[in-house]
A and B are shown apart, each in its own frame.
Chain A
Amino acid sequence: MIKYLYCFLFSVFLVFIAQSITSLKYINNLNLILVALVFITIVWGFNLGFIFAIFMGFLLNLYSYLPLGTFIVIYLIIIGLVNFLYKHILINFSFVTNLILIVLASILYGLLLALFNYLFFLIGFVKIYILMDGLVINKLLWQVVFNAILTSVIFIIARIFYKRLNSVFLIKK
């Protein structure tokens, strides 16, 4: 049970940081939580990804104008897809497949967020929605780029400093 308490505390820390960096002009394109979730799901498996998706989604939703539970659903869909792709299609874990997964996750996140926001707008739960105009698509593309860069950095650092992880990366599953 103590493991889940650590997970929760780490989630609080990550949501806190993610919310604080929104003031930084270029770094705010980075989706710290999504990168962490995808990385956790790939390296430590779906179970832990599931726990983090629920904790982070719940905490993040407290700051959001979207109805409570929206982020949990979005993150669960994403880690479900990532887990499926990792186990059935992108089996060979490498630098490239890692990038493909984060790119797909980032695009899916942007689309799901816009979709859910629009649905809640139509129902009347929220007053605004995300206009999929040039600015939003531009931000989404930058988010993909920044997320890919961060994932690559984490991947490289993990390979250098964590031998156990290194063996996980290299063994063909």
Chain B
Amino acid sequence: MLEKRKNRLIKFYISAVIILLIFLHYLNILAKPEVYFFKLISGAQNQTYTFLTKLKYSLVNYQEAQNLKKENFSLNSQVNQLLVQSVKFSQCQQENEKLRTTLNFIKDKEFDSVIAQVVGQGIERENTLIINKGKNDGIYEGLPVVVDNGIVIGKIIESKDNLATILLLTDKLSQMAVSTLGSNKTIGLAAGEFGLSIKIDLIPQNLVIKEGDLIITSGLENSIPRGLISGKVNRIISNENDLFKSATISPLTNYDEITIVTVIIPKK
């Protein structure tokens, strides 16, 4: 009886403490301890996440290595042809570097960026990533997140003091105004499809778009600058009688391998 009463008392105290913690959290009194907790844990969390991600791909790579051996033989013959082309490429590379320097200069004028580490995927929902930077670093909802040299992977949908959640572009609820490289105006809204690819609906029939075209952000949304690469068109669905056509885009990066991202913050 006494034991039961004691247990009930302990449960009451723990519940009261938790309710108090939630209350203090919303009053922002717990902000500092939470920051320390995340600083303490996020480094190790990222290391473990990165290690497991690499481990997964090393195992997959072993299986693929067997198939690659066969492919290697046929590819060797192509190498000689490619050597000739490589000379041409080196010239293009020099030109590209000059252009990139110019582009970076332009970008520097337009926005700031915050580099963040991925600490895991959302446990409650598919197509979300959690990063170790948040409001304290100037990250807020709606900001675009990129990897590598400007490949956009999604948007921030929630930002806490020291961590934020990214909704990936391939999610059904994700939407982003996009355009083609050659077009100045928005061609449509890109939305995720089955968590794998991205689809643009309501593209005017008269707009010229073909498979392989690069799709970029249009700059229509305030917080998302123009020119971030969303993906490459891999299929166009069009009927002559319809007013609009649609296109499927494949992302240029594997979302499962992402461990470091850059959040783009527009300059005020």
Contacts and interface: CB of A to CB of B under 8 A. Distances in A.
B82 interface: no
A101 B26 CA distance: 35
Interface stretch (A36-44, A89-97, A132-140, A164-172): A132-140
Interface in A80-124: 113, 117
A interface secondary structure, majority:
helix
A58 B25 CA distance: 11
Contacts of A58: 18, 21
A20 B120 contact: yes
A24 B56 contact: yes
A130 interface: yes
Interface residues of A, number: 38
A128 B10 contact: no
B45 A19 contact: yes
- A20, A23, A69 — most chain B CB neighbours (10 Å): A23
B25 A68 contact: yes
Contacts of B53: 23
Given A19-B120, A20-B49, A68 B22 contact: yes
Contacts of A63: 119-120, 122-123, 130, 163
Given A21-B52, A22-B123, A131 B26 contact: no
Contacts of B141: 127
Interface residues of B, number: 43
Nearest to B3: A47
Interface in B142-158: 157-158
A113 B124 CA distance: 7
B67 to A, nearest CB: 19
Contacts of A50: 11
Contacts of B167: 127-128
Contacts of B128: 65, 128
A3 to B, nearest CB: 9
Contacts of B194: 135
B15 interface: yes
Given A23-B53, A69-B22, A130 B125 contact: yes
Interface of B: 7, 10-11, 14-15, 18, 21-22, 25-26, 34, 37-38, 41, 44-45, 48-49, 52-53, 56, 119-126, 128, 130, 141, 157-158, 163, 165, 167, 171-173, 194-195, 256
